[in-house]
Amino acid sequence: MKKAAIALVVASVFGMTACQQQNADPLAVTEVTLDTEQQKQAYAYGASVGSFVEKQLAENKSLEIDLDNALVVKGFIAAMQGKSQFDATALHQLNSDFDKVVKEARLVQAEKNTQKGIDWLAENAKKDGVTVTDSGLQYQVLVEAEGDKPVAEDKVRVHYRGTLLDGTEFDSSYSRGEPAEFPLNRVIPGWTEGVQLMNVGSKFKFFIPSELAYGPRSTGKIPGNSALIFEVELLDIIGKPATN
């Protein structure tokens, strides 16, 4: 489902009558006029809810759970009008059952990701320029430099881009338009180890096994037990983090 479609449907609930809602295509996208601050706030509120729902539906689809988008919207509109076909008890049970389905699907996906990561990294380790450390971390030097190297207790400034093995980008300081700063001992183990190998001014590519990343935990666009790829530029070492 397109984010705009969900957002517009959600926002339309605030301004449409029940009759209009019943006659309209729940997935139709039309331009709306937003003249007042209150109208903009209503639309933004709906867009926020829609964005959340869109992300949940996308995650479910990645788990091979494909919900009917039109029914999702119909259920939302019905509930907004107090006309849901299920009472609170039934809704709670249905959602609880669905949570179990999602949890099981995540476990299955995580098992597949474990083997996928092992196989992919085994092949990647054979490539020219790829070094494998004792922990299983793999790295490739893209740009060499002669600056200082940080230690785990240092705070560093970096630019980076993170992707899954299929190239899906899940995070990027480049996209945000500003570098990231963090203490090296407060990130995933693959980063803590890897960035300490870098000189300021260098750029490395890291291939991180799941056990040195987020392990079985699913986070954002990263499914459980995913091996990850990061391109990292070490811009600066900015000293030790403040202690309380």
Q: What is the pLDDT of residues 204-217, one digit of tens each?
A: 999 999 999 999 88
Indicate if 214 belongs to the active site: yes
Indicate if 76 belongs to the active site: no
Considering the entire predicted model, what is its pTM? 0.68
Q: Exposed, middle or buried by CB within 10 Å (0-12, 13-18, 19+), for 176?
A: exposed
Cα 214 to Cα 59, 117, 184, distances in angstroms: 17, 13, 16
- What does the H/E/C string look like for the chain? CCHHHHHHHHHHHHHCCHHHHHHCCCCCCCCCCCCCHHHHHHHHHHHHHHHHHHHHHHHHHHCCCCCCHHHHHHHHHHHHCCCCCCCHHHHHHHHHHHHHHHHHHHHHHHHHHHHHHHHHHHHHCCCCCEEECCCCCEEEEEECCCCCCCCCCCEEEEEEEEEECCCCEEEEHHHHCCCEEEEHHHCCHHHHHHHCCCCCCCEEEEEECHHHCCCCCCECCECCCCCEEEEEEEEEECCCCCCC
Predicted pLDDT of residue 208: 98
Predicted pLDDT of residue 114: 92
Alpha-carbon dihedral sign for residues 66, 70, 71, 76: positive
Phi, psi of 191 (to 5 degrees): -75, -45
Options 76, 160, 204, 207, the catalytic residue = 160
Indicate if 230 belongs to the active site: yes
Options 43, 154, 230, 237, the catalytic residue = 230
Low-confidence ranges of the chain (pLDDT < 70): 1-27, 240-244
Indicate if 154 belongs to the active site: no
Indicate if 188 belongs to the active site: yes
Options 43, 204, 206, 214, the catalytic residue = 214
